Amino acid sequence: MNKKIKKILLISISLILLSLTLIYYSLFHSKEIFCSEFSPEYYKWFPYSESDVLIFINKNNDTLKYKVSQYKLFHTQSYESLGKCGHCEDYLEVKLSNQNDTLNISFHNLDYSKSLFGPYITIRDTIIDFTENEIDSILTENKIDFDKYLVEKNKGLISVNIDDSIWKLSKIENSNSKNILTNINCE
């Protein structure tokens, strides 16, 4: 073979090997994807700390108290592109309890642009999924009104309907405990 053909053959083989290496790397090597910062909006929608006491009153001036028995914030900082849970997630879980009742609240993916599952809220057994337009409207109006619950930004849960009796938030007794943000890691 002459030198020119050998040179072309060597360059071709080198390019093929390089291409195969790049394809292999892109298919089988995970890349770290970074999520945006945790949104402080969650604190504004449920401005509580663990051990706070929410005091509600009804039209008869009866009192209903709920203690914040759990307040957890979760955030994904990053994930591996080929990982089993490859997506950004933020959410808040709050548990309000008294001797007769427990209200479990979860608020997921307020920033819908970075979420795989989209924004939704759950109170007790009621789940509401929000479209982009609905979440934009909620963020403009600063209220979430559904089923038996009314949530207002900077106040939290302000009204609860229990057994056809409307209970309105009267005050919050602050415990001054600190909330902790937990980073979600997919193992």
Instruction: Specify the pLDDT at position 42.
Output: 83
For residue 183, give the 3-state DSSP assignment. strand
Say how far apart CA 60 and CA 102 lie, in whole Å.
Answer: 22
Say if CB 168 and CB 157 are below 8 A apart: no
In sequence order, the β-bridge partners of residue 180 are none
Q: Which of 30-44, 115-129, 135-149, 170-184 has the highest mean pLDDT?
A: 170-184
Is residue 187 over pLDDT 60?
Answer: no
| Mean pLDDT of the chain, nearest integer | 83
- pTM score, two decimals? 0.74
Q: Which residue has the higher pLDDT, 137 or 16?
A: 16
Average pLDDT of span 21-28 = 69
Instruction: Specify the pLDDT at position 128.
Output: 78
Is residue 114 over pLDDT 60?
Answer: no
Is residue 113 over pLDDT 60?
Answer: no
pLDDT tens-digit readout, 47-75: 999 999 999 999 999 999 999 999 998 88
Average pLDDT of span 29-38 = 78
Say how far apart CA 96 and CA 70 lie, in whole Å.
Answer: 7
Instruction: Specify the pLDDT at position 29.
Output: 65
- Give the start-to-end residue ranges of the domains of the chain: 1-30, 32-183
pLDDT band at 166 (very low <50, low <70, confident <90, very high): very high
Q: How far is CA 59 from CA 67, 102, 113, 162, 167, in A?
A: 21, 22, 41, 13, 8
DSSP letter at 114 equals G
Instruction: Specify the pLDDT at position 155.
Output: 92
Mean pLDDT lowest among 43-52, 144-153, 178-187 = 178-187
Instruction: Specify the pLDDT at position 144.
Output: 84
With 0-12 / 13-18 / 19 or more C-beta atoms within 10 angstroms meaning exposed / middle / buried, residue 152 is middle
- Which stretches of the chain are DSSP H helices? 3-28, 41-45, 132-141
Average pLDDT of span 33-56 = 88
pLDDT tens-digit readout, 69-109: 999 988 888 877 776 666 778 888 999 999 999 999 998 88
